[in-house]
Amino acid sequence: MYAISAADAISPAIQRTRTFLFRPFRLGTYLKLCLVALITEGVGGNGNFNTGHHYTNHKTTVSSFAPFAVTPERIAQAVAASLLLILLCFWLYYLITRLRFAFFHCLIHNIKQIRPGWHLYRTQATRFFWMNIVVGLCFVLLLGLIALPFAAGFLGLFRNLQAGGHPSFGAIFALVLPLIPIVFLIILVAIATDIILRDLMLPHYALENATAGQAWAAVWARIRAGKGSFFAYALLRIILPIIALVGLFIVLIIPAIIFVVVVAAVAVGIHAAFSGATGAAAIVGIFLQVLGGVIAFAVALFVWIAVGGPLSTAIRQYALLFYGGRYQALGNILWPTPPPSAAVNAPGIA
């Protein structure tokens, strides 16, 4: 194991990505791994639904919003739907967490099977999932505490709008201006938290079956011992994906425009050809339009997976290589040392 700087880890990460995805190359396996990489790394209207019945006096106009009348039944339905949505989100996030550990196992051992890591790290992934939930709830609580001082001002602005008032630009600017640095700071904290959790703490969960406290203590000790290197890593960890996305945008913008134009032309042509059709011909026209849309979506999805997957894989490889030079259990897997017998019998060694 040897420490590697944030800048020097870029080239090996790209090389490991090439080896992992393309040697040997099988299209089905490639798309599977790219999709997993994308999943694990993963890039209301107000007052418009009016019934039309107005009751006017000399001072105010009151609109009836019958479809959105608040009743106990509607409240119960909204609560049930919200709880169901929350449970669904939790379940999906748990599956993504399990998939992150499985992909971690694939990358460090350079294997292409998802199933072994999926089963191997079930306990660790479950504990890591609940730790992330606790961190997320704490983050939401922090946001609420930060928002409290601004709540009165925005509540007054909302009431003024409801009463038909027209707040000045100066009043809105006075409310929004102090939020700009706070929002920027919140974004930085969120990014730093994500890097610490996924890039630094997750390997300790996977390889040591560490608890949250043990993983954080190990990570914090390494950060204190190399503040400059970790700061450089965090900067590059943010900047490199942006640069890569800009490069992909430049390369793909013209093909994307051509693709959109072709799809639009085909859709317009089919619609024009069957615009006056009835009966079976109309059904055929609808079928062709739906089929064209499905094919266009499939092509776009294929390109997104095929192009975005290597980028997401390289990002994870980069994180593993940097931290592997500072975490021996991970580094020994990434750079296994030759067995003593091989060293003794190697040519030119007495």
Sequential DSSP letters for 142-178: HHHHHHHHHHHHHHHHHHHHHTT----HHHHHHHHTT
168 φ/ψ angles, rounded to the nearest 5 degrees: -75, 160
pLDDT at 20: 96
Q: Amino acid identity, residue 288? A: L
Q: What's the confidence (pLDDT) of residue 143?
A: 87
Given a cut of 70, the residues of the chain with pLDDT beneath it are 1, 43-70, 153-154, 156-171, 173, 338-350
DSSP letter for 164, please: T
**Chain length of the chain:** 350
Express each pLDDT in 80-116 by its tens digit: 999 999 999 999 999 999 999 999 999 999 999 999 9
Cβ neighbours for 320, distance < 8 A, ≥ 6 positions apart: 104, 107, 108, 203, 330, 334
| Residue among 191, 315, 324 nearest 241 (CA) | 315
- The alpha carbons of the chain give a radius of gyration, in whole angstroms, of 27
Report CA dihedral (166, 169, 174, 176) to the nearest 10 degrees. 90
Cis peptide preceding 24, ω within 30 of 0 = yes
Model confidence over 235-277: pLDDT tens digits? 999 999 999 999 999 999 999 999 999 999 999 998 888 887 7
**Stated pTM of the model:** 0.80
pLDDT at res. 280: 85
Beta-bridge partners for 54:
63
State the pLDDT at residue 151. Answer: 73
Residue 72, SS3 per DSSP: helix
* 3-class DSSP assignment, residue 40: helix
CA distances from 156 to 150, 173, 182, 331 (A): 10, 14, 21, 56
Under a CB-based contact definition with an 8 Å cutoff, are residues 13 and 323 in contact?
Answer: no
**Res 248: pLDDT:** 92
